[in-house]
Amino acid sequence: MTENITLKELAGMVDHTLLRADAKKEEFAKLCEEADSYGFKMVAINSFPVAMCRQFLKDSPVHVGAAIGFPLGQTTIENKVHEVKQSIADGADEIDYVINVGRLKDGDLAYIRREMTEIVSAAREGKILSKVILENCYLTDEEKVQVCEIAREVKPDFVKTSTGFGTGGATLEDVRLMKQTVGDAVKVKAAGGIRNLETALNMVEAGAERLGTSSGIKIVSEYKDKFGDS
């Protein structure tokens, strides 16, 4: 695996994350500066600071990503769609939305399909990328497959393992299962608990093409120490 991925490619998979409720303006400024300096793909933030981070990154190729219905997913479809549209207006390049886990646990796949369809459609209209957060720690393997099968039809850009705020984060088994289910139709993002290079590379090996983490700098530094700047 390490022979097939360069430092630049690895950094370009990182969604540099700051989702704490108490994060201050100076921390968002630092997040954006770091993302630009290290060549990360995106800053992953809540929807409120999107406009601010768009300004910080106005001359940078780094994307601004808004977390929608975060972290519980327990808002209506209409509210989530409105949040997507507001985030687009504020300058978001991507959105990561949390599914309504309760509706999935109730077996209401029609709701999950409608929610995904409307949110992905809003993102497409705004010409931005969309990611669907399953929050796998609460789901059975059957439920994970069900959401991924819907995603294979609706075609968001990514399915994502976790918010990082649940009872567990990304696992290799989940990444493999999700990738096996969506195939090449949708990409997979691993998030939650990715704190070192070994874990990051294992997630990529399992099929992840994005990594949501607040440890991106540590991961890149470990890569440099182990393999140099290649």
Report strand pairing: 158-160 vs 129-133: parallel
Q: Where are the domains of the chain?
A: 7-227
What's the pLDDT band for 104 if we cut at 50, 70, 90?
very high
Residue 185, pLDDT > 80, answer yes
What's the pLDDT band for 4 if we cut at 50, 70, 90?
confident
What's the pLDDT band for 164 if we cut at 50, 70, 90?
very high
Is 160 considered catalytic here? yes
Mean of pLDDT values over 145-165: 98
Comparing CA positions, the residue from 123, 186, 109 lying closest to residue 155 is 186
Residue 3, pLDDT > 80, answer no
What's the pLDDT band for 114 if we cut at 50, 70, 90?
very high
d(CA 218, CA 83): 32
d(CA 143, CA 141): 5
d(CA 135, CA 88): 24
Name the catalytic one among 144, 160, 179, 187: 160
Mean of pLDDT values over 153-164: 98
Residue 230, pLDDT > 90, answer no
Q: What's the CA dihedral at 89, 90, 93, 94 to 10 degrees? A: -90
d(CA 67, CA 152): 21
Mean of pLDDT values over 160-179: 98
Give kind and range of the element (H or E) at residue 133.
strand 129-133
Predicted pLDDT of residue 78 = 98
Q: CATH number for 7-227: choose from 3.20.20.70, 3.30.1490.20, 3.40.50.720, 3.40.1160.10.
A: 3.20.20.70
d(CA 161, CA 103): 17
Predicted pLDDT of residue 105 = 98
Mean of pLDDT values over 26-35: 98
Is 96 considered catalytic here? yes
Predicted pLDDT of residue 198 = 97
Residue 2, pLDDT > 60, answer no
Average predicted confidence (pLDDT) for the chain: 97
Name the catalytic one among 144, 179, 187, 189: 189
Indicate the residue type of 138.
Y
Predicted pLDDT of residue 228 = 86
Name the catalytic one among 15, 96, 157, 174: 96
Predicted pLDDT of residue 116 = 98
Is the overall model pTM greater than 0.75, yes or no?
A: yes
Look at the block and give the residue holding tokens 């075609």: 155
